[in-house]
Structure 1
């Protein structure tokens, strides 16, 4: 696999991601008056709040190609910074200041993508999502405290980042004396991987951790991993009879080698823990991961299992790669990735 510096849109990995939901921002990052520029799968997008909620469009005005994210939102409409053209959240031009007495052009001048808000996060799909946003099991459970961590920005591939999140055997070395003991690393017992309509999940994986959670105490941790969609993964970690430490991770593929990680931590213990204590541990772990994941080559995750060596503890990673390949092949069988809803007209006239 050759690194090209941008997404190969014929690649199975890209096709596996195109029709999925991806987190592109926290909901509170999108202001009432100021658009927000984000990037997803190599595309520049603009997020902005209209009367019906948050919109996600291509960051492009079909009049003269300026970025809408440099403009503003006025009276529930987004205004282009170049000539002040206004668009409603239905994607229609409603005002051309240079010709106020003429009807605005009827042609489609913006590209509209699917967008929704869930768990305080903004989710976007560039294609046609085949299912709803993944379920975060603890979100509506009042017994769990939820804390947002990150976003963490990696110069690395999103699928590499997710696979790292799903790997327990790196704990003693990447997270030495935190998630594992480098002088006495745990052997990883055989475990099962199950596939169902909700994605992938494992049976329990047990490891000892010297600094097992935000309390800074040693624990024997029992992990169960889930992959709800290619860039959304989750684990629940039992550290006692009733204690649970859960993490809901979304690895946004901004580009082939650029990832933004959005996390929500859910715990049902440590009522006296401060948010700073919780975030300190998350920041340390994901900074340690960053150094390694950014070093991996090739940037893109090899979906051909012959390209890298695998052992029994890699079973989840192997099944993850097989699943991604099957998703990409299924998308290929359907045909070319669909364009954005109401793609801008490429030839317009306005008399």
Structure 2
């Protein structure tokens, strides 16, 4: 996504300023030395990211007639803390070594333990510290939301939606684990994971929050926009993420090539591959998928099968279909003209990204 899309340059500046000021109040950079590694890990994690969730929230607000004020930038920025919490926990569950080109939180804390020569298991310390960091970020996201400075009646109108979003995110993470444990997946189950793990809290719910904050309640057209546009963009966003997890450039994604294959992610890409593969190729996929020691040769074998079965092309076509239907739904919504343009740009940027 470029900074020009949907005014992302200005929005990013406001979001990053709000995040920096909030985190400084929670853990001052010159505070207790024992807590500085937590602060450093949080700072580096929050320094990256596409700021998509704040953008959908902000343009939902503007679409329902809201005007620029510091409170909306702070409320929208709090979604980055929720995202950071999910990433930290996700990396622990997936045993990922890298996040955005840097050591993941649990690997960072593990290295700190090893370098310091402390007692006990460095891996266990790293995972424990990362879980606590993720919990801390989750708590902060709620605190920042409540202390955004927006009118009390606006926050009260949106609070049930905010609570529901966090619940669905955790349930989505569980569904992802469950699919990997089952070892097989269908189109329907892969789509459900895509929707609950990422699609809803990345697009639909941030948009819904912005609309509710500005409108003080959800009108029928707002709900239709969130499902017709928000859900579809969210699913397409996750499908793009699934493709990048297999075919993405590590220099762009910040993660090793094929990490989703090593982790055994049961995505739509995998479901489509197994449905179309020959018996021999399907057996190869089942044997290699989820192998933590999968080397580059194994990754390339799986990529070849995914391409040859047409699964990659099918997923690209699905992204196009979801995007097209989402933009049609957006055309019918009575949002402000500026918000309509911005939401169209965001939808295209979110589903055609390279990282």
Tell me the TM-score normalized by structure 1. 0.28
Higher strand share: 1
The structure with the largest helix share of the pair is 2
